[in-house]
Chains A and B, each alone.
Chain A
């Protein structure tokens, strides 16, 4: 009986310590206006992508109106002496693209796709990289060496070229492009996790767990990875921005499945031939990518300071 009470006591104090830790982290976050701003933006974009199709009806926004291509009727900003005005009776906040569609609505419709792809890529690479890195770090020896050498090869690659070749070979679909980015992204997580596991492996608690005969898979999965997870979470947050940049760059360089696809890089690519006559086509989609990536990077950069106790000065 006494033993059980002692156990619940330690459990409770552990939970209390965790809560205190989280509270302290939240306090630090409040102290840092940049992180808070980033977090608000991130939440805003996630909510926006959840309700994008409610705000903007895709059927209406995606309709092609070639009579209203590349027009601009916002009197506050004047781009060039050359810009064309939209036909009377229409009003487009950010002008129209080459298909005569409202650019503002197209940007709202594109955000869900970009965010979804970024999340899919980051979660998949993390799952794969963490699994491989943890096994390599735990087993060590020949297996570790082999995995390391493979990541060496991938690190030496010009990443974008590999992704481009992959996309060129296997067709221009969203799936292929996602795979292409995955192909160049995974080694980072393997290296990161392996390094973390190597450090944790030597700690006393692992020795203790081993000595009482805990299953190695259990040690790695429930003890080592949770202890090594913070740098991985930071890397994931920072990588969402990076993945959006890379993916939209692939689209921009001409690997889009269809020129009419609502995707931010693809929208910007529509403006390549019209940089000086319809600059809004590149300016606004690119700016949206910048703000999304910046929001995630602000959060990631702040998380690094908040989650790592050594940096809390």
Chain B
């Protein structure tokens, strides 16, 4: 099979998965009007019962679910995602578009942190295999994915916001993406506070935004950096046993060159895959971390949307998230072919 055939087949699969996700979410979000009331955003307190009936009829909420799904699908293909109940009737896509850059910023920061800590940790524990350093990295890895995300987030807040303040040290902000007084200091061009601050040349704003991103990003990266380190360690050990490494050593290359130029390049391929998937997973919004840090991203809004029965936002949110995950899986698989010429499809 040629690579483009493979990509085409996978793209067809993407469409199928998106339909599946939308059908399941649509069924859950619209099929139970007593819990998630889809006509809530068209109804006000002053309406009489017969007026509400009229609203339900006018929007087709009394029709069978598959017909409603068809209506929704037609609207979506016309770019109409409906109105968000959570945002008091703003168009759903506007709510999403205004919140998504915050999630992107947090994701980028968390990924940079994960890679910057995880990969060196992995290399270290591979080179010092079965020593104290190796055991320590194993414990860090396992602690990382045994840690309740909400708990770790609050611990970080407690220490770096509250206790640092109590001890008279410079403390980090406990939540939000930017300090209240600065909120409108620069025009929102990209929607990401750090980038906007830099674009406007307002370094104080960018620094404030940077201080806000540190804790949530670290709390996200802590969970996965250990896992990344384990993968790097495993593939590094695998690579170091290969003949070409023995060859490189026996022809007298310095150990530094052997490890960083010959071994590391190949050992990092699985790590890159994992980082890509991690990045994609976080782009879908880290619900718990964003909620604890009041980070105004899509994950935070999606929890609010669940509580308010905002079916339109949930539909848009889960579709975008599913799209990101499926496409990134595809991208990672295709990248593999370019990085590792031995792999064929």
Contacts and interface: CB of A to CB of B under 8 A. Distances in A.
A283 B150 contact: no
Interface in B123-152: 135, 138-139, 142-143, 145-152
Contacts, number: 140
Contacts of A279: 158
Interface string B1-18: 000000000000100111
Contacts of B326: 152, 156
Nearest to A265: B148
Given A81-B166, A168-B35, A297-B142, A158 B303 contact: no
A290 B150 contact: no
Interface string A95-119: 0000000000000000000000000
A289 B154 CA distance: 14
Interface string A279-307: 10011011101100110011001000000
Chain B interface: which size bin?
Answer: 35 or more
Interface string B164-186: 00100000000000000000000
B151 A168 contact: no
Contacts of B309: 168
Interface string B52-95: 00000000000000000000000000000000000000000000
Contacts of A285: 151
Interface stretch (A49-57, A159-167, A192-200): A159-167
B139 A158 contact: no
Contacts of A248: 148
Interface residues of A, number: 47
Nearest to A148: B13
A308 B302 CA distance: 41
Contact of B306 (A81, A153, A165, A272): A165
Contacts of B150: 249, 252-253, 268, 286
Contacts of A162: 24-25, 28, 318
Nearest to A282: B154
Contact of A168 (B139, B149, B306): B306
A297 B325 contact: no
B13 A275 contact: no
A155 interface: yes
19 contacts: A34-B138, A80-B162, A149-B13, A152-B20, A156-B21, A156-B325, A157-B24, A160-B287, A161-B314, A162-B24, A162-B318, A164-B287, A164-B303, A165-B314, A254-B307, A283-B158, A286-B155, A290-B143, A290-B148
Given A80-B162, A169-B35, 11 more contacts: A153-B20, A156-B326, A157-B24, A158-B287, A158-B302, A162-B28, A165-B25, A285-B151, A286-B151, A289-B148, A297-B145
Interface of B: 13, 16-18, 20-21, 24-25, 28-29, 32, 35-36, 135, 138-139, 142-143, 145-152, 154-155, 157-158, 162, 166, 284-285, 287-288, 291, 302-303, 306-307, 309, 314, 317-318, 321-322, 325-326
